């Protein structure tokens, strides 16, 4: 036998004699040292071959006893206002808009379709255009407004949905209101162009926000009826711009300037631009208010060339605050969402800090909704119950439309009489 085989065999027999005990369980040798049997080299491996199991020991805190950390709220869900400063009536208006999103977008989309109808299979794919969440069935949202939408089977044996007879009558009523307010809407568009930096804006941007200002659906053709006020020009990239033909000095008066003539103190207290001072002055509230007025007044007219001011100066901030106040005063409901404001960011020389700027003026502006999707209101335009004080005829029409939209099948006859 080779020498290396002898060495290997001797080594295996040595390990067998020294490491493996002569019995399989410690109970077979009650008088022996158990720890030495299971660990013959305690000075080298003190933790090996323990005769006791430690699997029953709880080494981790069970999940049910762990303290649950509060998830950090994201801007998508975190409300703008704290509970103490929240205005519930205005918050409900934002919730109402979310609820009627399908109604308004479907009304807008279907009114452009031939005969105001759409195949139901196609409607399920148009979730953005019709205003319902992706992955949901459109039938559910149609059935929420049984008085305004109808589903029926066409001669081609396919399911279609469209407006009810009542909805068709309401559309005619809306068109008459818009036609009667034509001159007022012309002035609104003129004022928007006068507020803009270069006295011109993209036609597509105004069209996108037309419902905010009560501008008709056929806006692109509608402006051509007023050649003395508007001019359509083409940019180098082919985009169509709406340009102001002539400056109107009579319209270059802001809502704040009109209010100043009626109630001077109200306008003085509308905004707050605090003047920094040392604590050693020890001023009371009245003295502090007078000192802040030195910064607040005079205000900068939104129809001035305030965009020429250095970006972070006090005058530039006054100008931007005045522009936003004037834009909101031109809207139907004296409010606008972040999406509308961002749409005109370049034209009105607004910055990315508009949200923080509005929060610093809580006397005039109220921000509702979440930090990512907020809506700004003009406080003075609403009463304590969150009702708009001066209502445009189109606002009254939409309130009537919302009442019809909430009527269900079982309560149709009585509720229709009350609405009319």
Model pTM score: 0.78
> What mean pLDDT is predicted for residues 391-419?
82
State the chain's maximal CA–CA distance in angstroms: 121
CA-to-CA distance for 149 and 164, rounded, in angstroms? 5
Task: Provide the 8-state DSSP code for 262.
Answer: H
Res 23: pLDDT: 44
185 to 17, 56, 212: CA distances (angstroms): 105, 79, 11
Lowest-confidence segment of 115-119, 129-133, 289-293 by average pLDDT: 289-293
Model confidence over 312-360: pLDDT tens digits? 888 999 999 999 999 999 999 999 999 999 999 999 999 999 999 999 9
Res 269: pLDDT: 84
Res 417: pLDDT: 56
Lowest-confidence segment of 24-38, 237-251, 358-372 by average pLDDT: 24-38
| Percent share of the chain, pLDDT over 90 | 59
Residue 38 has pLDDT above 70, yes or no: no
> What mean pLDDT is predicted for residues 224-241?
91
Q: Between these two residues, 230 and 63, which has the higher pLDDT value?
A: 230
- Beta bridge partner(s), residue 382: 388
Model confidence over 49-107: pLDDT tens digits? 455 556 656 667 777 777 777 778 888 888 899 888 999 999 999 999 999 999 999 99
152-180 burial by CB neighbour count: b if 16+ within 10 A, else e? eeeeeeeebbbbeeebeebbeebeeebee
3-state secondary structure of 141: helix
Residues in the chain: 420
CA-to-CA distance for 121 and 161, rounded, in angstroms? 10
Q: Give 298's pLDDT tier (boundaries 50, 70, 90).
A: confident
pLDDT, averaged across the chain: 83
Res 28: pLDDT: 46
Lowest-confidence segment of 83-92, 143-152, 190-199, 262-271 by average pLDDT: 262-271
Q: What is the dihedral of CA 382, 388, 391, 392, to 10 degrees?
A: 90
Query: Taking a C-beta distance cutoff of 8 angstroms, is the pair 376, 336 a contact?
Result: yes
CA-to-CA distance for 209 and 215, rounded, in angstroms? 8
Res 268: pLDDT: 83
Residue 17 has pLDDT above 80, yes or no: no
Res 64: pLDDT: 75
Res 116: pLDDT: 92
């Amino acid at each position: 036998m080779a020498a290396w085989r002898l060495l290997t065999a001797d080594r295996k027999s040595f390990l067998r004699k020294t490491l493996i005990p002569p019995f399989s369980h410690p109970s077979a040798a009650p008088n022996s040292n158990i720890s030495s049997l299971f660990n013959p080299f305690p000075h080298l491996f003190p933790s090996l071959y323990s005769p006791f199991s430690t699997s029953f020991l709880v080494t981790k805190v069970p999940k049910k006893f762990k303290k649950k950390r509060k998830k950090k709220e994201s801007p998508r869900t975190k409300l703008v206002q704290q509970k103490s400063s929240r205005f519930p009536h205005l918050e409900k208006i934002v919730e109402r808009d979310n609820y009627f999103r399908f109604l308004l977008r479907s009304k807008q989309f279907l009114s452009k379709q031939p005969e105001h109808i759409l195949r139901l299979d196609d409607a399920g794919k148009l979730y953005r255009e019709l205003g319902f969440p992706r992955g949901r069935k459109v039938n559910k949202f149609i059935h929420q407004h049984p008085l305004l939408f109808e589903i029926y089977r066409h001669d081609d044996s396919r399911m279609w949905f469209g407006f009810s007879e009542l909805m068709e009558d309401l559309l005619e009523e809306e068109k008459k209101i818009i036609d009667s307010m034509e001159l007022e809407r012309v002035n609104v568009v003129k004022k928007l162009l006068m507020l803009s930096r270069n006295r011109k804006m993209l036609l597509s941007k105004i069209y996108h926000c037309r419902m905010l200002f009560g501008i008709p659906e056929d806006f692109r053709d509608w402006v051509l009826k007023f050649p003395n006020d508007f001019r359509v020009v083409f940019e180098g990239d082919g985009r169509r711009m709406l340009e102001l033909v002539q400056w109107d000095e009579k319209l270059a008066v802001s809502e704040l300037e009109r209010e100043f003539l009626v109630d001077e103190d109200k306008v003085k207290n509308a905004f707050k631009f605090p003047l920094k001072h040392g604590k050693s002055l020890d001023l009371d509230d009245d003295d502090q208010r007078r000192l802040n007025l030195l910064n607040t007044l005079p205000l900068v007219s939104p129809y001035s060339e305030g965009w020429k001011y250095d970006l972070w100066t006090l005058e530039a901030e006054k100008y931007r605050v005045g522009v936003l106040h004037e834009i909101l005063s031109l809207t139907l409901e004296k409010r606008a969402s972040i999406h509308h404001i961002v749409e005109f960011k370049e034209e009105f020389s607004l910055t990315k800090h508009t949200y923080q700027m509005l929060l610093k003026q809580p006397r005039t502006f109220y921000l509702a909704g979440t930090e990512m999707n907020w809506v700004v209101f003009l406080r003075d335009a609403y009463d304590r119950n969150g009702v708009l004080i001066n209502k445009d005829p189109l606002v009254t029409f939409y309130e009537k439309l919302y009442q019809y939209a909430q009527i269900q099948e079982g309560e149709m006859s009585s509720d229709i009489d009350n609405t009319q």
